[in-house]
Amino acid sequence: MPYKLLIFTCYGGCATGVAASKACIKLWEENPEDLKIGCLPAVIVPWKLKEIMKSEKRILIDACGVQCGAKLIEREGMTVDRYIELTSVLGIKKAKKLPSHDLEERVYSTIKKEVYALLGE
């Protein structure tokens, strides 16, 4: 059964990446029937990519301007309905540390807004 929304995030080793991973898990817990976290590295596996593309909608979150996730999905020909690059959207620099509570809240709010727009809520 295809998912209504698949969320992909880089889970990067920086403050925005950790905050994004926490936000995505929280959103999945809040909406278990409507969304699921997709495995970003799985897009290189042909049969998994076919399964991924059956989802109704997809969102990709990159933690920083390196845009690893965007480069990976572009290379594999995957499309997304929304793309967020957090450091640009939030107007901050990449920090190789754990996120503050404030940053976690800002990242969660940013991702939640896009998720609910895609879910039509």
* C-alpha span between 20 and 8 (Å, rounded): 10
Which position has the higher pLDDT, 47 or 25? 25
- The domain that contains 13 carries what CATH number? 3.40.50
Is residue 57's pLDDT more than 70?
Answer: yes
The domain tally of the chain equals: 1
SS3 108: helix
Q: What's the mean per-residue pLDDT of the chain? A: 94
Is residue 63's pLDDT more than 80?
Answer: yes
User: At 64, phi and psi to the nearest 5?
Assistant: -145, 180
- C-beta of residue 20 within 8 angstroms of C-beta of residue 61: yes
User: Tell me, what's the pLDDT at 3?
Assistant: 86
pLDDT digits (tens, 9 = 90+) for 28-46: 999 999 999 999 999 999 8
pLDDT bin (cut points 50, 70, 90) of residue 12 is: confident
User: Tell me, what's the pLDDT at 1?
Assistant: 61
The residue among 116, 115, 114, 90 whose CA lies nearest residue 103 is: 90
User: At 46, phi and psi to the nearest 5?
Assistant: -50, -45
Structural domain for 85, as ranges: 5-119
* C-alpha span between 12 and 79 (Å, rounded): 21
Beta bridge partners of 9: 61
